[in-house]
Amino acid sequence: MSTIGQTKRTTTAQIEAMKGTRPLVSLTAYTTPIARLLDPHCDLLLVGDSLGMVLYGMESTVGVTLEMMIAHGQGVMRGAKKACVIVDLPFGSYQESKEQAFRNAARILKETGCNGVKLEGGEEMAETVAFLTQRGVPVFGHVGLMPQLINTTGGYRSLGRSDKEADKIRRDAKAIAEAGAFALVVEGTVEPVAREITQSIAIPTIGIGASAACDGQILVCDDMLGLFNDFKPRFVKHFAELAPMVSKAAETYAQEVKARTFPGAEHVFVVKK
């Protein structure tokens, strides 16, 4: 089959090589239509387990299953042609052992065709990251605030304010980078610590609630689009305000249906004589 004219997808190796060149642009994506819209503008699309909260109304990401991640990973891969696509390993799918992590990561790669997987954790997960990368699984790391550990960390808050917390995040970042991850999410980490980590490790850092000095940034696409107005974290900027637009469109639709002005003659099929 000819590949002439086809867009080449960005690889994890290319993402890693972009450190120090220009900021990397990343967003989450969970569906085919949104992936199509985001793809031309992003270096990396993350099928995040945040879909549990964003799409399914869960209180945390802990309830997300491997099957959910694979289904949405498949959807995003149908819509993304250019961006590097990474799929989250959900809670419970990799912490038991490095062998369990490999089995589930391999399943994600095989069933979605994505470029790699993301997992949360620092020093305690370094052996697993090395095990995966040595066996052909590209790994996107994640340190700082780790949503999958929310039941043990006491809630969503910025980390690194104490010397103890800051030192732990530094050690975690160093361990995951040295284990072979191609890039690293730094989440919910105070600015000076995130900046220091970015300068001290050889792989790109992707910040969310971290520092403008990170090698790239990521946001949940629904937050970026202003689809949630009930709560807005400090690190989120609404680049659009779609929530009121969606609500207004639904209101107008309901009014026209009730008034029988929709569908109009141009919206129905007639028998031609």
Which residues are annotated as part of the binding site?
Answer: 49-50, 88, 118, 120
Identify the bridge partners of residue 60 per DSSP, sorted by sequence position: none
Which residue in 99, 111, 187, 251 is the catalytic one? 187
| Tokens at 148, concatenated | 């999958």
List the binding residues for Mg(2+): 49, 88, 120
List the binding residues for 3-methyl-2-oxobutanoate: 49-50, 88, 118
Q: Quick check: is 256 catalytic?
A: no
Q: Which residues are catalytic?
A: 187
